[in-house]
Amino acid sequence: MSAAARVLAQAKINLLLRVLAQETSGYHSIETVLLRIDLADEVRVRITNGRSLDCAGPALPTTGLGPTEKNLAYRAAVAYTEAAGWPDGFAIELDKRIPVGGGLGGGSADAGAVLRALDALSPKPLGSALLEVAGPLGADVPFMTMDAPLALGWSRGERLLPLHPLAPRPVVLLTPDFGISTAQAYGWVASDRGSYAPTPAVFDPARLATWEALPRIATNDFGVVVARRHPIIAELVDSLRAHGAAIAMLSGSGSTVFGIFDGVPDAAAVERSTGHSAVATRTSDRVVRVELDR
């Protein structure tokens, strides 16, 4: 029987996301606070002779996830084999529960889960070097690979400072029936700003790790530019606030909007008032461990 590992690839929300200057490479520097939530894809990795990727689940688009070789989870496995010289083959199974194109980092979570699973199975784990494999795969992949539920990130998101975990809080997610391309969202920011580029802020990491402080710094530079093109985003944010959310905003470049509540919210009431399916989950104070099946 081939060695296998299973792990829940937790989604993330951005409690802070500031888009800074555009680099000569075309990428923008950012400042962000990333927080894992309990909503997760289920990822299973087996060591085999060939290479394969199978996707299913309630959040899988009817058109699928595109070419296998471009899928982040598959690319993560290939990157691991090139870095570690092992394994020769792998089989990845994804059960998609995180909305695709919603700004919740589902693809990055899957990639990070694959890296963690392979390292748990490896006869010679990469350990801390795993983040070096994660970096080139995408801005959110290093966070999704590290063992921290909450972190301050800057540069392109690959420079990370783990923060003290916060006690779990209820979350309601609202996802419109359209996704938003991250590249397009960055283009909207650049178009709306022209030559203006905000300066980096100075954050006290200790203050970022308390629920009392976070509403004062919670902001997302994509929120205004996305809502200008899709007014439903602002309407959903307002509705979550009206239902008592202490923090309500766009996650990533969207299109998912989240609300964090002090107490258990009435998700059904939110759903009725917005006409959008409401997903109830929680913020996470831990990263789910890899389970081995040898």
> Where is the domain boundary, 163, 190, 215?
163
Residue 257 lies in a domain: yes
Residue 289 lies in a domain: no
Residue 26 lies in a domain: yes
- Residue 140 designated active-site: yes
Q: Among 37-41, 61-65, 198-202, 253-257, name the one with the lowest average pLDDT.
A: 198-202
Q: Give me the helix-helix angle, 221-229 and 182-193, nearest 10°.
A: 100
Q: Considering the candidates 41, 95, 140, 221, report the single residue annotated as catalytic.
A: 140
Domain of 256: which CATH number?
3.30.70.890
pLDDT confidence band for 207 (50 / 70 / 90): confident
Residue-wise pLDDT for 133-160, tens only, equals: 999 999 899 999 999 999 999 887 678 9
Select the more confidently predicted residue: 245 or 139: 245
- Residue 110 designated active-site: no
Select the more confidently predicted residue: 1 or 190: 190
Domain of 116: which CATH number?
3.30.230.10
Residue keyed to tokens 């939530």: 37
Do residues 38 and 148 both lie within one domain? yes
Residue 133 lies in a domain: yes
Q: How many domains does the chain have?
A: 2
Cα–Cα distance for residue pair 197/284, rounded to 1 Å: 33
> Where is the domain boundary, 163, 190, 218?
163
> Where is the domain boundary, 163, 180, 196?
163
- Phi, psi for 126 (deg, rounded to 5): -80, -25
Do residues 130 and 250 both lie within one domain? no
Q: Considering the candidates 12, 41, 95, 119, report the single residue annotated as catalytic.
A: 12
For the whole model, what pTM was predicted? 0.93
Q: State yes or no: pLDDT of 22 exceeds 80.
A: no
pLDDT confidence band for 114 (50 / 70 / 90): very high
Residue 274 lies in a domain: yes
pLDDT at 158: 74
Q: State the residue range of the domain holding 111.
A: 4-163
Residue 288 lies in a domain: no
